[in-house]
Amino acid sequence: MNKLNVRERIDVLLDKNTFVEVDKYVKHHCTNFGMENKRIAGDGVVCGYGKIDGRLVFVYGFDFAVLGGSLSSANAQKIVKVQEMALKVGAPIIGLNDSGGARIQEGIESLTGFAHIFRRNVMSSGVIPQISAIMGPCAGGSCYSPALTDFILMVQDESQMFITGPNVVKQVTNEECDKESLGGASVHGSISGVANFVCQNDEECLMTIRELLGFLPSNNMEDAPIKPATDELTRICHELDNVVPADPNQSYDIRNIIEPICDQQYFFEIQPSWAKNIVIGFGRMAGRTVGFVANQPQEKSGALDIDASEKAARFIRFCDCFNIPIVAIEDVTGFLPGIQQEHNGIIRHGAKLVYAFAEATVPKVTLITRKAYGGAYIAMNSKQLGADVNLAYPTAEIAVMGAKGAVSILYRKETPEQQAERVKEYEEKFANPTMAAEHGFIDDIIEPADTRHALIQALEMCRNKNQSNPPKKHGNIPL
């Protein structure tokens, strides 16, 4: 295990010799339980600003070696100061969390410190990117500040997040667990969906933050950095010709469509281990950042469920906050059926995805590769939901449901032989994008090899899009 101390972490994270520390002489003022004899300069949190790839960022990091990295009121004041500085100048803020939670000796003072931090998290939301790295324990109130930020990274075998620890869980529910099984990186990366990235060590975590920021603008009034486009804009992607199988019931990896169309064929995936039936992440097209949202036929036949809807909706809203165009790649059989899904609120959670796409005013382009059925077709950025350009492969099937399901309802009294003929008839009519194109719901039917060029053309056309939603304090998204 190669666990770095807080200053080593900041050195790895920032460009060399750019870190400027703030409030390094601050000490706590607590005199309870002998704390007057444990006053250390900085009080266990290092705060300041520096640069990543030449761009200004703010950072604060907990030092677990000082009183377990616990949060004091003095620490909270330091963190709030850099939060306010970051918001004032419009620069990202990064928190390096390695803390046991509120400092017990201070009682209510340390708890109110959390409240001040949370409020700044909320005020900064959608204005500047906020990134949290969990690089050790993160317990109790410490969890909620990261949860309010845009992206959370965790380190395998080093970091844990939980509101109440294993001992309390045992006392209250009589469940046996340890820190790792309760809130380790694997749990939050694949089961809860709390973590966006799970890294193998501190260095990988910090380098991932640097790479992530390369796709993002510094604030909501700017665009993401543009990288010189060395990849041919009109590049023909012949490898896409055979990605979508001829058999409509055969699966394929949607990343085999996303990766070839990105500049240098590089796709930066987010939350790869949670809600695998939807794929989200950043790529570049013509040197500009694009957010991808794509159904994954390899998982649950690409159907949307509760977790996939939430995963996609949050990512879409982030992209919309920070002026990042969205490309939706669609191959969806519908919303996942089942008693558990219905009882857990698929209607409410699925509505989040509809809301997010409909609310977003950034350029929105949709490509239908194969199936686009029912309400899921609408939810995945349909023309009627506000998409700017909708494209389809010749293999696209746009319908209320699949042929067999439709025939079983429409012609339930007919013989199996008659129903087989009806299935063929239904497929001829709906197992193609022609009808949707005739109604103007699909703007063009393209060959797979032309995907990159067609999407770049659509995004360039939409670049100066100027759209705003009706004036309001804020919408009421179904949470």
Task: Identify the pLDDT of residue 3.
Answer: 87
> Is residue 128 over pLDDT 90?
yes
> Is residue 33 over pLDDT 90?
no
Report pLDDT digits (tens) over 305-326.
999 999 999 999 999 999 999 9
Distance CA 434, CA 275 (A): 32
Cβ-based neighbours of 448, under 8 Å, separated by 6 or more: 237, 240, 241, 243, 244, 257, 369, 393
> Is residue 274 over pLDDT 80?
yes
For the chain, the average pLDDT equals 92
Q: How confident is the model at residue 125 (pLDDT cuts 50, 70, 90)?
A: very high
Task: Identify the pLDDT of residue 129.
Answer: 98
Task: Identify the pLDDT of residue 42.
Answer: 58
Check: CB of residue 353 under 8 Å from CB of residue 377. Answer: no
Positions marked active-site: 140-141, 375-376
Q: How confident is the model at residue 257 (pLDDT cuts 50, 70, 90)?
A: very high
> Is residue 24 over pLDDT 80?
yes
> Is residue 66 over pLDDT 80?
no
Residue 316 token pair: 């879409």
Distance CA 68, CA 44 (A): 8
Length of the chain: 479
Report pLDDT digits (tens) over 384-417.
999 999 999 999 999 877 777 777 788 787 787 7
Integer-rounded Cα Rg, in Å, for the chain is 25
Report pLDDT digits (tens) over 129-172.
999 999 998 888 789 999 999 999 999 999 999 988 898 899 99
Task: Find the mean pLDDT for residues 90-99.
Answer: 95
pTM assigned to the model: 0.94
Q: How confident is the model at residue 202 (pLDDT cuts 50, 70, 90)?
A: very high
Q: How confident is the model at residue 221 (pLDDT cuts 50, 70, 90)?
A: very high
Task: Find the mean pLDDT for residues 71-79.
Answer: 85
Task: Find the mean pLDDT for residues 376-380.
Answer: 95
Place of tokens 């025939």: 407
Cβ-based neighbours of 17, under 8 Å, separated by 6 or more: none
| Higher-confidence position of 471 and 424 | 471
Task: Find the mean pLDDT for residues 346-357.
Answer: 97
pLDDT more than 70, % of the chain: 94
> Is residue 75 over pLDDT 90?
no
Task: Identify the pLDDT of residue 95.
Answer: 97
